[in-house]
Structure 1
Amino acid sequence: MTQRRSRGDGSLHWDEERKRWIATASLGYDGDGKRIRKKASGRTKTEAKDKLKRIIREHEERSLVRPSETCTVEEAVTNWLEFGLPGKDPATVENYAILCRTHVIPALGKRRLTDLSVDDVDRWLAAKAKRLSTRSLQSIHSCLNRAVQRAVVRDKVRRNVVALCAVPTGRPGRPSKALTFAQAEAILEAIESDRMHAYVVVSLLTGARTEELRALTWDHVDLDGQPDTQPPIPPHIAVWRSVREGGDTKTRKSRRTLALPARAVLALRLHRLAQNAERQAASERWREHGLVFTTAVGTPLDAANVRRAFRRALGRVDGIDPAEWTPRELRHSFVSLLSDREVPIEVISQLVGHSSTATTEKVYRMQIRPVIQTGATTIDRIFEG
């Protein structure tokens, strides 16, 4: 193989194996600092050289496009939020918008994109690391990075300096907690007359996610089962939907059918009677969606509805500070209760709908303990009577 230089930028060499001349053009660096190379080939040296010239000419023509001297970080972020997130769940978009309005725009929004430097971004992240968790730092870095990368594609700036910055370690986040058996029993007894009682019972005793319970419909609930079949089919809920975009569960393995402990069956029977009474009381104001858990007029619950109602219910319990607990920690408590009774992590992982035991261990590390038996049967034994 022989190497020959052409006149101007780039090089030509003969590829003995392919029996062709190979033209290689070096065109600088991209927004992430990686060298840009383009290649072409020809059967003759002249043909390859012409292709090399064409590559260099097209690159130079694109380089004549000057980046915007006036586009600011705020404009780039706003454009990304408005046009760069098609198909995303509205709640996700709103979360990104809150992060940008709270952390990105106040600190960097007025700076022109062409003036934004790696040092600027490093200093910004270092200042935020004093107050935010590592996960929050990763989120705000991602928002800014994606907004600036979109600006690069739209010729607003030549390179993305945000991509060159590492995310520092932030403050430790608040660790999730799990209820002890005594606390769980106290809560279930104290809120029996609260309209959140059935929700708390099902969440705590099945480990279903809050977004799965908010989407649960009565046609996916069987409170009778089929005791005469072989093998008998127990009362159960089909966790097949969630309030996520498209209505699907978080992962493929999240789609599961869970046997209901006796206490959950009783709570849901009473809840259905109470819901029928609310339907009659609301009359024409009732909006039927077939949902198990709703507002007082039948409309779907959102995350804030559940959070407020959950904390209001916990206010009935002596020795429990409602502000210290969130609905998702009922799921953590389910894992902890089963793990305390030596249920294998493989079984717990299936019950909570994780794609692997590694996910269960990573997310619920503080609640996982050794190993041995399973689900609704164990819960019945834990809450015997």
Structure 2
Amino acid sequence: MAKRGNGEGSIFMRADGRWYSALTYRDDVGEVRRREVSGRTQAEVRAKLRELRERVEAGAPVKDASITMAVWLEDWTTKALPASDRKPATIDLYATIARSHLVPKLGSPPLDRLRPPRRRGPGARQAPRRPFCVIRPDDLHGAPGRPRRRGPGRADPAQSGRPGQTPGRRARRRGHLPAQQVEALLEAIRGDRPESLHRVMLATGLRRGEALALHWRDVDLDAAVIRVRWTLSRTSAGPGLGLPKTEKSRRTVPLPVPAVETLRAHRKRQAAEQLAAGSLWQASGLVFTSEIGTPLEPRNALRRFEALAERAGLRGVRLHTLRHSAASFLLAAGTHMKVVQEHLGHSSYAITADIYSHVAPVQQREAADKLGQAIR
């Protein structure tokens, strides 16, 4: 006889010929609850008890909810999501995706009608691929600090893969600019107002948000270093400061001599702009600002750079291309991958190695040439 789990009663047959049992458990507020199950056989009842126990252990509703997905998502975006510890830009993004894409497509059916997609065998016809959704299954749970994390529907329909796993992103080779294209780009941005921003990003490998959030108090031109402590992103209320994406992102980055000279000249130009703006100037302490001292809008900074890249004859070049170009130059110069990881603020060595594996063959060729010269 199979051993009963915690809270399970005995399985017995009633006068109607059906088998019955019950599961006793504690709900979200700690109250003791009891739910009965029935079936035509003992095996069917045991399976239902096992399913109920799994739901309780996973923090999912024991009874399927009857509200619609649209109602649940509205509650999630207005209560649980704002109460979470996610960045404001992420909260805005998730709320927009929920209202613009999830509600129109999944809003009508009740939660108890939603099911994970069936897995197909090797020979089955594959369905069309769906766009990758940036909202992970874990993101559709309640806000941190609640008694239980609870997802919608039966056994959390948001989970479409193996339990506890979320869709992963395969590492991709990142585009970078060779030296000749860098020269063309620098010529195109010469004299443009955001020239200093672009030169510093190319010289340091800073992310866009890190560069736009850089404060003068975190710049030490005498020691030729900058400290990355903040990131700037767009929110529904406008540009806002937040913490960098990982602990490794909070770092000190050395400045090459040309970058130091660029920042010295930029500080003089900014002082002249402040004088010209007069009472309109809004002191933010930021290195890269608008003509009245306010933070730069990240999307506007991106659009301006793309226009300048087009002027240089470069298509498909983004601000992030400057970061990858800086990393590629460091690696091509023989800098150890671990040093590049810390320079870029990647959370692990493996991430740097996967992204910039395309630089390794160049280093291997140079190493082979040096070896050939040594053994002549």
Q: TM-score, normalised by structure 2?
A: 0.68
- 1:16-27 paired onto structure 2 within 5 Å: none
Question: Is 1:336 paired with 2:328?
Answer: yes
Distance in 2 between the 1:286 and 1:222 partners?
A: 24
Distance in 2 between the 1:120 and 1:220 partners?
A: 53
Spell out, residue by residue over 1:116-140, the C-alpha distance to the aligned partner (whole angstroms, 9 max, x if none): 2334899xxx86725x2xxx24x34
- Please name the residue that 1:28 is paired with: 49
Question: Is 1:237 paired with 2:226?
Answer: yes
Do the aligned partners of 1:335 and 1:368 also contact (CA within 8 Å) in 2?
no
- 1:50-61 paired onto structure 2 within 5 Å: none
- Please name the residue that 1:213 is paired with: 211
CA shift, 1:189, in A, is 2.3
- Please name the residue that 1:129 is paired with: 129
Q: 1:289 to 1:191 in 2, by over 3 A?
A: same
Greater percentage in helix: 1
SS in structure 2 opposite 1:213? helix
- 1:130-169 paired onto structure 2 within 5 Å: 130=130, 132=131, 136-137=132-133, 139-140=134-135, 142=137, 146=141, 157=153, 159-163=155-159, 165=161
Distance in 2 between the 1:285 and 1:220 partners?
A: 25
Q: 1:171 to 1:237 in 2, by over 3 A?
A: closer
Distance in 1 between the 2:311 and 2:190 partners?
A: 10
AA partner of residue 218 (structure 1): W
Q: 1:363 to 1:83 in 2, by over 3 A?
A: farther
CA shift, 1:100, in A, is 2.2
Do the aligned partners of 1:204 and 1:333 also contact (CA within 8 Å) in 2?
yes
Q: 1:212 to 1:9 in 2, by over 3 A?
A: same
Do the aligned partners of 2:226 and 2:255 also contact (CA within 8 Å) in 1?
yes
- 1:65-144 paired onto structure 2 within 5 Å: 68-69=65-66, 71-85=67-81, 86=83, 87-119=85-117, 129-130=129-130, 132=131, 136-137=132-133, 139-140=134-135, 142=137
Do the aligned partners of 2:306 and 2:317 also contact (CA within 8 Å) in 1?
yes
Do the aligned partners of 2:136 and 2:166 also contact (CA within 8 Å) in 1?
no
SS in structure 2 opposite 1:339? helix
Do the aligned partners of 1:191 and 1:313 also contact (CA within 8 Å) in 2?
yes
SS in structure 2 opposite 1:118? coil
Gaps of 5+ in 2: 12-23, 26-45, 121-125, 234-239, 365-376
Do the aligned partners of 2:202 and 2:323 also contact (CA within 8 Å) in 1?
yes
Spell out, residue by residue over 1:321-350, the C-alpha distance to the aligned partner (whole angstroms, 9 max, x if none): 2xx122122111111111222221122112
Deviates more, 1:209-218 or 1:359-368: 359-368
- Please name the residue that 1:349 is paired with: 341
Distance in 1 between the 2:241 and 2:68 partners?
A: 35
Gaps of 5+ in 1: 12-23, 38-61, 226-233, 373-385
AA partner of residue 80 (structure 1): W
- Of residues 350, 354, 362, the one that matches 1:358 is 350
How many residues of Structure 1 are paired with residues of Structure 2 in the alignment? 306
Distance in 1 between the 2:100 and 2:338 partners?
A: 41
SS in structure 2 opposite 1:193? coil
CA shift, 1:175, in A, is 5.5
CA shift, 1:187, in A, is 1.1
CA shift, 1:194, in A, is 0.8
Q: TM-score, normalised by structure 1?
A: 0.67
Q: 1:155 to 1:303 in 2, by over 3 A?
A: closer
Q: 1:356 to 1:183 in 2, by over 3 A?
A: same
CA shift, 1:271, in A, is 1.4
SS in structure 2 opposite 1:78? helix
Q: Percent identity?
A: 33
